[in-house]
Structure 1
Amino acid sequence: MSQASESVRLSPTVGYQRQADIAVLWLDNPPVNGLGDSTRAGIHAGLKLAVEDQGVVGIVIAGTGKVFCGGADIRQFNTPAATARPQLRDIQQWMEASPKPVVAAIHGVALGGGLELALGCHYRVVAHDARLGLPEVNIGLVPGGGGTQRLPRLVGVERALDMIQHGTPVTGKGAVQIGLADAVTEGAGATRDAGEVVALAVEFCRRAAARSSAHPLVAAHEVQGSSIDFEARLAAVSRKSRNASAQRACVLCLKAATQLPFSEGLAFERARFDELVAGAESQSLRHIFFAEREAPKFSDGKGQTLRTIDRVAVLGAGTMGVGITMAFVNAGIPVTLVEREQAALDRGMALIRRNYDVTASKGKLTSAQIEERIARIAPSLEFDALADADLVIEAVFEDMAVKRDIFERLDKVCKPSAILATNTSRLDVDVIAASTRRPGDVIGLHFFSPANVMKLLEVVRGKATGLDVIATCLTMAQRIQKVPVLVGVCEGFVGNRMLTPYWREAGFLLEEGASPQQVDRALTEFGMAMGPLTMADLAGMDINWATRKRLASTRPAHLRYSSVADRICEMGRFGQKTSGGYYRYEPGSRTPVPDPLIDDLIADCAREAGITRRAVSDEEIVERCMLALINEGAHILEEGIAQRASDIDVVYVHGYGFPAWRGGPMFYAETLGLDKVLARIRALRDAHGAHWEPAPLLERLVSGGARTFDRKD
């Protein structure tokens, strides 16, 4: 056979190449070869050209770079480009009608529309380590290109339902085993590019062309019988799932595949897709999807030389120190764990092992993997053991004097290239940095508890923090599977600062007539993972009590203040840890139980404050708590504490249980309408006073006709 010809562009994102008698269509739309309008047009043109070329006996579709195709270009959803012809279904019809075999050569990933494109081909050849799946449910959608109708015809209804409803991919090797793919490359190493799989696909295609002029169509397969109880699957979808509507739609689409002719099943699927893509749930989930990917970026970080992070040290073996340690060793990074006393160090190591044992009991870790991870931890009582670490994270008690003393000592012990990080959740990073002679090396890394589980990491940029330190920590966070958000220095940074007005309104609502259980119920019905008062009990009410006492002198005397939380703490009730807070807790239980004693205390506080209690609606509870978050978020944006409104959304979705299907507090405000949000905040100011003064940024945006926080449209 002759050598391959030069690739010719059929569209800005698709190339056409002859490899002897096989035409190869190259998807070239970085980073994931998304099926945008120009890619679809290029594929369509390539198929037509190859079918009409008498010297071509078969067609291979492949991807440049690291992947075959990551799916539709979701940035084009709800735009004219998304509906431009040809659509994916037009391409699938062309492939199915082709007299010449069409083979998908899959490496990296074939996800969403990428797999649907491959399902429209006659054959699929895969790299052994490729991942194939239909994950649309994760952004609140069903597959819209025939995936719910074609996949069950290849792999069976039950397996297809599991893959589609939960967005679970399979490997290339696994795809062959279940009948999703026809051939797989050999080898155990990582597939770096498309070369090996394209070579296999070209030969496969050539043999298929020689063997027959009739090639298999997935659409023509019979749906394999299934005993699935679709009604039970629908009933099992949790109402609180971030993508509940999409999960239910997936089940209905698979049910349709078993009951309707193929063409009608396609129409049913498309109708469900169109409903979901226009709905608030999917728009919110797509917003969070992009916000997570945008959050690690900062303009000053381009071109920065990253510092090497080969070894980490964690100072403090309490709950936070243990979680942080596990986060790093889980990612394969060795950690030196330092404590002052042997008993505390032993407790920390025992907690680590206990946490791993729980994971192993769920079948997620083997004993060998546990030992491998624990072996990466070097426990020590020596402060000097921190000397060789590339990154030191202080995770001790939240006391400024203690932290300043520690950082003064770190300055003397740690090597010059080390990054010195504090895990403080509220304290001034600049004051801590000033305890050293190298404030440029100091940064805040605010992990969320439990740090080995929670994905959010607030990366706190001090006034002097070096750009290379920031860039290194943002990259490091992704390495340990965290979602980093860059924030500035202020009391509570982004997340905890916004909790203050949120809890404030909860306290006011209690005094005005709501019960703790009503406040929590209203907000969990809204979608919050936990009500604010249950959250306070879980976190420990003494922590915020200490903060309130520390900041008491800065609180304007003319502003209303609820004493409910303080009075509960004065009783020695700090939440779950003392078996009582806003609720009481039975021994060994985390279930909150309403307590008449607290109801009486709230009534006393209201009477002392001169408040006449009344019936409070759930709608008022949700509105006041949400608008308090939104208004404070707008202040944070105004002050430059957060780079983007979407960063605030990432913080609240990943750190504070805000429902992802509502997109975060700032996106939720945009869905309500910024003008309507401002009008309600002004009304609350008139009714409740200066706490509700609207953020100047919100006033400016509305007066300028803007509908979003980040884009002045």
Structure 2
Amino acid sequence: MFSKSTLSLIELPNHFIELRFDRKNESVNKFDQRCLTELKEACHELTQNSAVKGLVVTSAKPTFVVGADITEFGELFSHPPEKIEQEFLTINREVFNALEDLPFPTVAAINGIALGGGLEVALACDFRVMSESAKIGLPETSLGIIPGFGGTVRLARVIGPESAISWITTGLQNNASKALAIGAVDTIASNDLLKPAIEFLENANSGALAWRDVRAKKQSPYDLSASELNTLFDNAAKFVQTKFSGHYPAPMAAVNSMRKSILLDRTEAIKVEARYFAQMAKTETSKQLINVFLGDQQVMKHAKNLAKTETKIEQAGVIGAGIMGGGIAYQSAYTGTPIVMKDIQQNGIDLGISEATKLLDGLETKGKITADKKQHVLDKITPTLNYQEINAVDIVVEAVVENPKVKHAVLPEVESQVKETAIVASNTSTISIDYLAQPLARPENFLGMHFFNPVHKMPLVEVIRGTQTSESAVAKTVGYALAMKKKPVVVKDCPGFLVNRVLFPYLGAFMQMVHEGVDFIQIDKAMESFGWPMGPAYLCDVIGMDTTVHAANVLADGFPDRMKYDFTTAAEHLLKNECLGQKNGHGFYHYEKDERGKITKQHKQEIKTLLSSITESEKNVDEKTIAERLMVVFCLEAVRCLEENIVERPVDLDMAMIYGLGFPQFRGGPIRYIETLGISEFVALADKFGEFGNMYKVTDTLREMANDGSKHFYQ
């Protein structure tokens, strides 16, 4: 009847038609220009066929439609906002409105994922059938934009503006039960969605379902008084201001768009949406969030291609239980890879199992897993005090104390107990992989696998290649990290590897400013205003002062010209006075549990008094200067890591800082941040702070780029 490269029209009994999305030679359906054009043609074809009595929109893929093709945004968003606005008005009129205006009832059969444009095409239908395992949502604000295919208009009328505001501003995915309860879909079905979808069409044709009334509701102004409108959207604005910083304008734009369009008919309402969409498309935030989205895809694609070259890890092990070992064991077991957890003491085993159980209990309490699933995960963790269970594993992760002597003793012992083909990985955060490999008989099977704490939350895993590490070991370890639902980035061995090497000059600049007399609370506020999830003082407390000082010493030994300081740092002084941070409740800040058991952060004057003995007289510095000083050293060390090939590509570096440290996503990563400032402008900024030491010294290559007028690290 009608067959194109992304979709087809298929005749069903009783004059019904199936519009089936099935993008050739690809695993998912998405809305790019080709698909939109073909959907427009299909709607025209359907309009011309007077015999059609109903349409079911389906997908032949495991998912419905994952959304728009983000790779096309770069070209489209380069145009003036007026052209972007007109483009989306045309798409809405000729595609989504055309689907919604077909002269017969329509049903979307949502299997798998329906996000962004995928949900918007379903909303253009009169009814929606959703599979039990499907997820739907409008995540556009996570890209710095708002829905542009009518999502703010139709969703607000289908589920009500209050719920639509929540869905759109948070961008969360919603399961079938939530979608049904809120009215986003009309029924939930198991695997066969076509049968209940056809029943909707039959009932619509018989008059049992008033499909024209359903359609008219989406196209008409919402029934809301002026006072109700003001109360609802004033509260929504307050919610968005509280939840999202001013660095993320899209959620507020979505609220404002819905506020201005909710009392308009469809034609006028979509004009409002298109205008706000175009405004957001031109923001720097949108540009960088899209870069992050595409960067994530690049990093994961690279990792998956690498993992394909080797066999899958079937059985894992972890040496050293406790919090970190328990976290690794939990993550491995939860994602499907059985793991042996070994320790030399029963209390270590108990702590590791307790950590895994605590995490699973949390999921069960939230209704995310069943008791059977919880037990199934725990059954995949084999606790042991001896090596007998370890000898069959494909990879073993050493997670003992961060002490070179201890690791030098443990690693050869572990190597002697595993099969010759097994990979031995160290979960070290700073210690040289080549140094740790010295006593090993098979250094080609040894590397670093650095997890970040807490393991279950932090997405990054640094896979650290030693001088003698084989490509096979790297590929298998990357595959294991992917199986654990982590984001692996392969880096070369050096003090601190990639993430900590870049982080500690930043913390060093912070320590230097505190030494100069700048208030650490002011510094924290400045960096939070810059976009970091927490300031450097709070970060030291979270890491632990003992760990912070240890890592700083490793980096100082590795890079003494710029990371060794001629003064006692605040972290060293706090550690000396047994202020460990959150580990014992006292650090830069004081920590107590509130009545709900949540840890709260407080400031106590005695800490400033304690630090006064190692700081100069009080010094006032504006927030802009604070952020500049800390970010210059952070970005300069990132550039050095690129120049030294510690990491292969700028995208790997930027994504590692976002995954591992929470670098502000709206700034795109340190390399994107330099590009945004301008390379020559960044060099001039670094030179301005040259008096503060070698950590501000610009590399020769970077200065050449500035002198040559280079604008990009990314090719």
Q: In the TM superposition, what is the alpha-carbon distance from 1:113 to its structure 2 partner?
A: 1.2
Give the corresponding residue for 1:191.
Answer: none
- 1:664 and 2:669 correspond: yes
Letter in 1 for 2:601: T
Give the corresponding residue for 1:609.
Answer: none
Question: Partners in 2 of 1:80 and 1:96 — Cα distance?
Answer: 25
Give the corresponding residue for 1:345.
Answer: 349
Change (3 A) 1:46 1:659: same
Give the corresponding residue for 2:418.
Answer: 414
Q: In the TM superposition, what is the alpha-carbon distance from 1:626 to its structure 2 partner?
A: 0.9
Give the corresponding residue for 2:23.
Answer: 28
Q: In the TM superposition, what is the alpha-carbon distance from 1:295 to its structure 2 partner?
A: 1.8
Change (3 A) 1:442 1:264: same
Question: Partners in 2 of 1:180 and 1:604 — Cα distance?
Answer: 60
Give the corresponding residue for 2:625.
Answer: 620
Partner of 1:387: helix, strand, or coil? helix
Question: Partners in 2 of 1:590 and 1:129 — Cα distance?
Answer: 37
**Which one of 575, 578, 581 corresponds to residue 581 of structure 2?**
575
Q: Where do 1:451-466 residues align within 5 Å?
A: 451-466=455-470
Change (3 A) 1:634 1:51: same
Give the corresponding residue for 2:65.
Answer: 69
Q: Deviations over 1:58-111 (max 9, x none)?
A: 555444433321112222224238955851342123223433555444322221
Q: Where do 1:3-152 residues align within 5 Å?
A: 8-9=3-4, 13-15=6-8, 22=17, 24=19, 26-28=21-23, 30-53=26-49, 59-80=55-76, 83=84, 86-152=90-156
**Which one of 489, 499, 508 corresponds to residue 495 of structure 1?**
499
Q: Which sections of structure 2, spanning at least 5 residues, go unmatched?
A: none
Q: In the TM superposition, what is the alpha-carbon distance from 1:447 to its structure 2 partner?
A: 0.8
Q: In the TM superposition, what is the alpha-carbon distance from 1:397 to its structure 2 partner?
A: 1.1
Farther-moved stretch of structure 1 (644-653 vs 37-46): 644-653
Question: Partners in 1 of 2:422 and 2:487 — Cα distance?
Answer: 23
Change (3 A) 1:571 1:705: same
- 1:469 and 2:464 correspond: no
* Aligned-pair identity (%): 29
Q: Deviations over 1:555-597 (max 9, x none)?
A: 5579864422434444444434355444556799762425456
Give the corresponding residue for 1:643.
Answer: 648
Give the corresponding residue for 1:220.
Answer: 219
Letter in 1 for 2:219: A
Question: Partners in 2 of 1:342 and 1:299 — Cα distance?
Answer: 37
**Does structure 2 retain, via aligned residues, the 8 Å contact 1:313–1:386?**
yes
Q: Deviations over 1:135-193 (max 9, x none)?
A: 22222322112112112322333333332232234445765665444566544xxxxxx
What CA RMSD, in Å, does the superposition of the two structures yield over aligned residues? Answer: 3.5
Change (3 A) 1:229 1:156: closer
**Does structure 2 retain, via aligned residues, the 8 Å contact 1:296–1:486?**
no
Give the corresponding residue for 2:635.
Answer: 630
Q: In the TM superposition, what is the alpha-carbon distance from 1:639 to its structure 2 partner?
A: 1.4
**Does structure 1 retain, via aligned residues, the 8 Å contact 2:505–2:637?**
yes
Farther-moved stretch of structure 1 (216-225 vs 144-153): 216-225
Give the corresponding residue for 2:484.
Answer: 480
Report the number of matched residues: 690
Letter in 2 for 1:139: L
**Which one of 268, 277, 285 corresponds to residue 289 of structure 2?**
285
Change (3 A) 1:463 1:203: farther
Partner of 1:110: helix, strand, or coil? strand
Q: Deviations over 1:421-479 (max 9, x none)?
A: 11000112233234333323222211111112222221222333333433333333233
**TM-score w.r.t. length of structure 1:** 0.86
Letter in 2 for 1:658: F
Question: Partners in 2 of 1:696 and 1:64 — Cα distance?
Answer: 55
Give the corresponding residue for 1:314.
Answer: 318
**Which one of 233, 236, 245 corresponds to residue 233 of structure 1?**
236
**Does structure 2 retain, via aligned residues, the 8 Å contact 1:153–1:224?**
no
Question: Partners in 1 of 2:141 and 2:173 — Cα distance?
Answer: 12
Change (3 A) 1:355 1:43: closer
Q: Deviations over 1:294-313 (max 9, x none)?
A: 22343894584433333321
Farther-moved stretch of structure 1 (391-400 vs 207-216): 207-216
**TM-score w.r.t. length of structure 2:** 0.86
Question: Partners in 2 of 1:391 and 1:669 — Cα distance?
Answer: 39
Question: Partners in 2 of 1:298 and 1:678 — Cα distance?
Answer: 31
Question: Partners in 1 of 2:653 and 2:558 — Cα distance?
Answer: 25
Q: Deviations over 1:597-649 (max 9, x none)?
A: 6557456454xxxxx87432211110011111111111111111122223222
Q: Deviations over 1:650-669 (max 9, x none)?
A: 22223223222322222222
Partner of 1:141: helix, strand, or coil? coil
Question: Partners in 2 of 1:390 and 1:431 — Cα distance?
Answer: 23
Q: Which sections of structure 1, spanning at least 5 residues, go unmatched?
A: 188-195, 607-611
Question: Partners in 2 of 1:682 and 1:423 — Cα distance?
Answer: 37
**Does structure 2 retain, via aligned residues, the 8 Å contact 1:701–1:709?**
no
Q: In the TM superposition, what is the alpha-carbon distance from 1:492 to its structure 2 partner?
A: 0.9
Letter in 1 for 2:676: T
**Does structure 2 retain, via aligned residues, the 8 Å contact 1:16–1:26?**
no
Question: Partners in 1 of 2:426 and 2:638 — Cα distance?
Answer: 24
Question: Partners in 2 of 1:286 and 1:279 — Cα distance?
Answer: 11
Partner of 1:337: helix, strand, or coil? strand
Change (3 A) 1:597 1:114: closer
Partner of 1:229: helix, strand, or coil? helix
Question: Partners in 2 of 1:434 and 1:540 — Cα distance?
Answer: 29
Question: Partners in 1 of 2:338 and 2:71 — Cα distance?
Answer: 39
Partner of 2:392: helix, strand, or coil? coil
Question: Partners in 2 of 1:126 and 1:601 — Cα distance?
Answer: 60
**Which one of 593, 601, 604 corresponds to residue 603 of structure 2?**
593
Partner of 1:424: helix, strand, or coil? coil
Q: In the TM superposition, what is the alpha-carbon distance from 1:523 to its structure 2 partner?
A: 0.8
Question: Partners in 1 of 2:204 and 2:611 — Cα distance?
Answer: 80
**Which one of 389, 413, 418 corresponds to residue 393 of structure 2?**
389
Question: Partners in 2 of 1:71 and 1:600 — Cα distance?
Answer: 55
**Does structure 2 retain, via aligned residues, the 8 Å contact 1:457–1:482?**
yes
Q: Deviations over 1:314-351 (max 9, x none)?
A: 11122211221221222243322111112332333334
Give the corresponding residue for 1:271.
Answer: 275
Question: Partners in 2 of 1:25 and 1:542 — Cα distance?
Answer: 59
Question: Partners in 1 of 2:180 and 2:622 — Cα distance?
Answer: 57
Change (3 A) 1:149 1:561: same
**Does structure 1 retain, via aligned residues, the 8 Å contact 2:495–2:501?**
yes
Q: In the TM superposition, what is the alpha-carbon distance from 1:358 to its structure 2 partner?
A: 5.0
Partner of 1:396: helix, strand, or coil? coil
Question: Partners in 1 of 2:600 and 2:43 — Cα distance?
Answer: 61
Question: Partners in 1 of 2:188 and 2:387 — Cα distance?
Answer: 53
